[in-house]
Chains A and B, each alone.
Chain A
Amino acid sequence: MQNFFNTQKESDPRQFVQVKSWISQAFDLSEDVSVMVTQLQCTEEGCPPIETVIAIMETPGKPRQYKIHKPLAEVKQTDIVSLTAG
């Protein structure tokens, strides 16, 4: 079972930096744009226990949010690129 007390800390901080850099490339973001990446637990039926949630804050007040149905450690560059198609 996923340890609820370690959702963020269990992940390698380098993976966060890597995923953020993939997001910047895929969405062609300038350096000033803040990106938040977090893992949230989900207990709903049919959902994976941990999801990765991304917020891109390019326009103040209107962040774009995306969900990837897997923990951050399993997120690949192709997952990020596929977000741009939606």
Chain B
Amino acid sequence: MNTAMLNNQVPVTVLTGFLGSGKTTLLNRILTENHGKRIAVIENEFGEVGVDNDLVIGAEEEIFEMNNGCICCTVRGDLIRILGNLMKRRDKFDYIMVETTGLADPGPVAQTFFMDAEMQDKLQLDSVTTVVDAKHIWQHIDDSGEAREQIAFADVILLNKIDLVTAGELEQLEARIRSMNAAAKIYRTKNAVVEMDKILNVGGFDLDRAMEVDPQFMEPEYPFEWAGVYYLSAGTYELVLQEGPDPTMKVALIPVSESTDAALEGAVEPVVMVFSDDERELWAGSALQPSGRLIALNLTADELRFDVQVDRPGAYALFTEHHPDEFQAQLFGGGDHVKPVVEREFKPDHEHDDEVTSVGITIPGDLDSDRLNGWIGDLLQTKGLDIFRMKGILSIKGQPNRFVFQGVHMLFDGRPDRPWGSEPRNNSLIFIGRNLDRAELTEGFEACLA
């Protein structure tokens, strides 16, 4: 049983997705599956398959701003009216689905559920679920703010029509979506077929679940995806690659003290600096020196072989912009395949590809509530329009219970949750939005520690 049911609140799912993504197919499936729930549907997309249900209500998009000069919140007037009327028939349904138009901005819809205290009392936004057409989303993802926002706002994303794309395309799409919204649950579907418990009562806003994100997401981003340490005797080696998805790949080869994880770890920060230097282009057939310089391997030739000259035996770390598997990159010495002694994958830096990103921060310890209030207040005041979603589990000094909250733009809803008990007291925050500055957010959050 989720918190909405315990509080006798009606759970609400907001369904978004471009026209043709499979949103209405999903809605029809939800309405016809035997899940025992009576669902009221609010829809405002015309020209798609109609839904035969007593409680389907149409709406015309009507957006307005509620503000006091300091905080502005864009809400949907049509939705407020419809929800108000619907709640007079509260005994007729146990769940509400709001289907938005393909081009709707999910922000005002989601904010509507946080704006009015009476509404917050009676309804609980269970999740924003976005259906993505795996084949055609590429047409929109770069040039449509709505498409990006629908992905950014989502708690659940259905990657639909996966039968129309290759496994490689799907991986690429999922990585792109994950870079924008690391906190959403992603399900791959054909014909929008998905188990109902993945869509209804998911408690997207139950923070424990929402915070179960990819552990790599909590790490900083790096300009390289992979590093390996090789132990090499003096001699000539050959780095051999196959044609891959990119025409060049930046690499840096540097000597390290020993072939251990610790030595690799110690090289990470210096190599981040190396990756910010100007690169020198290296054509196939040329020699790659372990100089610690940034090299861009040109990968347009037919034969992609680069000599590696090692003058002194020892440990050498190779950092690569892309994962070597993408190019089947291998190192050979005397005809034998030389494998790295230790290796590590890194979360790639997608900052330059997507203006919409996620930032996750975890810090141990207790927070000072006054400092936290001040920081969050300032942050929302200055960056509220760029922060689409925010979720957190916090440890407030002097409070035995965890404090959980989640928000949409400048509005949010928070409450004390279960006691920490023997669990270590930790603070986790996730931001999803535009132009987020990880370093600045981390510094601000850390300054709130008691």
A and B associate: yes
Contact: A16 with B117, CB < 8 Å? Answer: yes
Inter-subunit contact A36/B415 (CB<8 Å): no
Which residue of A9, A40, A43 contacts B415 across the interface (Cβ within 8 Å)? A9
Contact B64 A55 (CB under 8 A): yes
Please tell me which one of the listed residues B121, B370, B412 contacts residue A1 in the complex, with CB atoms under 8 A apart.
B370
Please give me the residue from chain B that is nearest to A32 by CB atom.
B85
- List residues of chain B with CB within 8 A of the CB of A13: 117-118, 121
B68 adjacent to A37 (CB under 8 Å): no
Chain A residues in 8 Å Cβ range of B121:
13, 16
Please measure, in the bound complex, the distance between the C-alpha atom of A17 and the C-alpha atom of B117, giving whole angstroms: 9
Contact residue range for chain A?
Answer: 35 or more
Question: Closest A-chain residue to B63, C-beta based?
Answer: A61
Q: Is B376 an interface residue (CB 8 A)?
A: yes
- Whether B120 contacts A8 by the Cβ 8 Å rule is yes
Q: How far is the CA of A44 from the CA of B77 in the complex (A)?
A: 27
A67 / chain B contacts, CB cutoff of 8 Å: 68
Which residue of chain B has its CB nearest to the CB of A63?
Answer: B64
Contact (Cβ within 8 A) A43 B120 = no
Contact A20 B70 (CB under 8 A): no
Whether B237 is near chain A, meaning CB under 8 Å from some CB there, is no
Please tell me if B105 contacts chain A, counting CB pairs below 8 Å: no
B220 close to chain A: CB less than 8 A: no
> Which residues of B388-419 have CB atoms within 8 Å of chain A's CB atoms?
403, 405, 412-415
| A6 nearest CB across to chain B (Å) | 7
In Å, the complex CA distance between A4 and B407 comes to 12
B117 touching A38, Cβ below 8 Å: yes
For residue B57, give the distance in angstroms from its CB to the closest CB of chain A: 14
B403 touching A5 by the CB < 8 A rule? Answer: yes
The contact string, 1 if C-beta is below 8 Å from chain A, for chain B 97-139, is 0000000000000000011111111000000000000000000
Contact of B218 with A by CB under 8 A? no
Residues of A within 8 A of B80 (CB): 34, 36, 57
How far is the CB of A14 from the nearest CB of chain B, in Å?
Answer: 10
Q: Which residues of B contact A (CB under 8 A)?
A: 60, 62, 64, 66-71, 73, 75, 77-78, 80-81, 84-85, 114-121, 369-370, 372-373, 376-378, 381, 403, 405, 412-415
Residues of A within 8 A of B (CB): 1-6, 8-9, 11, 13, 16-17, 20, 32, 34, 36-44, 47, 51, 53, 55, 57, 60-61, 63, 65, 67, 72
